[in-house]
């Protein structure tokens, strides 16, 4: 072997040592418990990360959990991570969990918003939208048998932690929240109103599949500041918190247990790097809610289509 070749071989040696095959033995064969929640993109992303971890040799389990209670479970090391922590609905529970042992595994590129939303044609019946005062002036148009003289706001399932009844009270609005039990009911209410061009205002968020299917926009409430959630004196109502909208450019983060980092450090590094954009999250929801795929198959398809993205997360 020439000296030059020897040098080359020597230079390549570190790469050989550090190139870990995809099916290398995991640090621990105990299952990593991935928390699943009750909206579509979260379930698809959980499956993407779960399948990618399996490819790396890890055992995984999916654990459905309440959106607020999951934070206690993760802080207690009973569950290992949740892939979509939305600022608008989870900031308070997330902050509490970090204070009691959970770990912030970093933010996605995605910028999020969760708030009251209406299809565009509603603007014709309520001039002045998207301002919330214009919506409130128009409340009678949203009245139903259930809400009497008040307008109906089709609200999210209780565990999404939105405090909308409190907001309605704090802003002294002529609305009543009627919460749904599950996301599918939100879309059914929207579709039913949309087909008849009837006024409807409901909870929605972005990124979501809805924006690709329906033209609409968010109601603009008093601009969010942290103090709105904690300081009654903040905002138009001096005696109440929640007299503001949700963040219009919220974060999307990942939360995990301390045990994840201790027991499966390479998986923890992988989770820190995992990162989805608005377009990818909307697409994840669309594959299931529009195209009718299962979350498992949607995850498989995403992995097959986006090798360049996820390869960068795997070391
Ligand atoms: C937590 N969510 C995205 C359903 O608003």
How far apart (Å, rounded) are the C-alpha atoms in residues 86 and 249? 11
11 pLDDT band (50/70/90 cuts)? very low
Regarding whether 219 and 121 lie in a shared domain, the answer is yes
Kindly state whether residues 142 and 209 are assigned to the same domain: yes
Give pLDDT tens digits for 67-101.
Answer: 999 999 999 999 999 999 999 999 999 999 999 99
Are residues 224 and 119 both part of a single domain?
yes
Cα 273 to averaged position of ligand 1 atoms, centre (Å): 22
> Which string of DSSP letters, residue by residue, matches the chain?
--HHHHHHHHHHHHHHHH---TTPPPS--SPEEEEE-SSHHHHHHHHHHHHHHHHTT--EEEEE--TTTHHHHHHTTSS-EEEEEEHHHHHHHHHHHHHTT-EEEEE-S--BEEEEEEETTHHHHSTTTTBHHHHHHTGGGGB-TTTTTSEEEEEPPGGG---HHHHHHHTT-SEEEEE-SSHHHHHHHHHHHHHHT---EEEEEESSSHHHH--EEE-BPSPP-THHHH-TTSSS-TT-S--S---TTB-EEEEE-HHHHHH-HHHHHHHHH----HHHHHHHHHHHHTT---HHHHHHHHHHH-HHHHHTT--
Q: Is residue 211 part of a domain?
A: yes
Q: Which atom of ligand 1 is nearest to the CA of 90?
A: 1
Tell me the CA–centroid distance for residue 205 and ligand 1, in Å. Answer: 6
How does pLDDT run across 88-144, given as a tens digit for each residue?
Answer: 999 999 999 999 999 999 999 999 999 999 999 999 999 999 999 999 999 999 999
Higher pLDDT, 92 or 16: 92
Q: How confident is the model at residue 23 (pLDDT cuts 50, 70, 90)?
A: low
Same domain? 168 vs 222: yes
Query: Would 170 be classed as within a structural domain?
Result: yes
Q: Which atom of ligand 1 lies nearest, measured to the CA of 42?
A: 3
Å from CA of 26 to ligand 1 middle: 32
Q: Which amino acids bring their CB within 6 angstroms of ligand 1?
A: 39, 86, 89, 114, 160, 205
To test the ligand 1 pocket, which listed residue (65, 71, 82, 88) has its Cβ within 8 A of the most ligand atoms?
88
Which atom in ligand 1 lies closest to the alpha carbon of residue 41? 3
* Residue whose CB lies within 8 A of the most ligand 1 atoms, among 83, 160, 255, for a mutation test: 160
Q: Which of 76, 54, 53 is nearest to 65 (CA)?
A: 76
Q: Are residues 107 and 118 in the same domain?
A: no
Give pLDDT tens digits for 260-295: 999 999 999 999 999 999 999 999 999 999 999 999
Task: pLDDT band for 6, please (50, 70, 90 cuts).
Answer: very low
Q: How far is the CA of 304 from the centre of ligand 1 (A)?
A: 26
Same domain, residue pair 258 and 178: no
- Tens of pLDDT, residues 214-257: 999 999 999 999 999 999 999 999 999 999 999 999 999 999 99
* 237-265 burial: b if 16+ Cβ within 10 Å, else e: beebbbbbbbbeebbbbbbbbbbbbebbe
Domain that holds residue 46: 24-111+250-313
199 in Cβ contact with 122 (< 8 Å): yes
Are 203 and 186 in contact by the 8 Å Cβ rule? The answer is yes
217/254 same-domain check: no
Nearest-atom index, ligand 1, CA of 88 = 5
**Ligand 1 centre and the CA of 25: distance in Å?**
36
Measured in Å, residue 114 CA sits from the centre of ligand 1 at 7
This model's pTM is above 0.85: yes
Asked if the model's pLDDT at residue 7 lies above 90, the reply is no
CA 156–ligand 1 middle distance (angstroms): 9
Task: Provide the pLDDT for residue 159.
Answer: 86
């Amino acid at each position: 072997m020439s000296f030059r070749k020897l040098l080359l071989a020597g230079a390549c040696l570190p790469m050989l040592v550090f190139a870990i095959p995809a099916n290398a033995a995991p640090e621990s064969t105990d299952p990593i418990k991935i928390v699943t929640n009750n909206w579509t993109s979260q379930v698809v992303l959980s499956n993407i990360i779960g399948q990618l971890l399996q490819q790396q040799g890890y055992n995984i389990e999916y654990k459905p959990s309440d959106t607020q209670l999951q934070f206690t479970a993760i802080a207690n090391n009973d569950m290992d991570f949740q892939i979509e922590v939305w600022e608008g609905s989870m900031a308070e529970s997330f902050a509490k969990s970090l204070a009691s042992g959970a770990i912030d595994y970093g933010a996605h590129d995605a910028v999020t918003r969760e708030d009251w939303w209406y299809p565009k044609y509603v603007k014709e019946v309520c001039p002045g939208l998207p301002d919330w005062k214009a919506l409130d002036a128009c409340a009678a148009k949203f009245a139903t048998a259930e809400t009497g003289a008040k307008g109906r706001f089709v609200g999210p399932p209780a565990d999404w932690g939105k405090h909308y009844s409190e907001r309605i009270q704090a802003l002294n609005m002529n609305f009543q929240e009627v919460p749904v039990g599950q996301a599918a009911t939100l879309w059914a209410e929207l579709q039913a109103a949309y087909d008849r061009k009837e006024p409807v205002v409901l909870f929605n968020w972005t990124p979501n599949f809805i924006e690709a299917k329906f033209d609409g926009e968010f109601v603009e409430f008093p601009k969010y500041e942290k103090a709105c959630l904690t300081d009654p004196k903040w905002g138009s109502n001096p005696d109440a918190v929640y007299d503001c909208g949700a963040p219009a450019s919220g974060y999307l983060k990942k939360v995990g247990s301390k045990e994840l980092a201790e027991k499966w450090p390479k998986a923890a590094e992988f989770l820190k790097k995992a990162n989805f954009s608005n377009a990818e999250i909307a697409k994840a929801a669309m594959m299931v809610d529009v195209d009718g795929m299962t979350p498992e198959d949607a995850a498989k398809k995403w992995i097959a289509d986006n090798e360049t993205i996820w390869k960068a997360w795997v070391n």
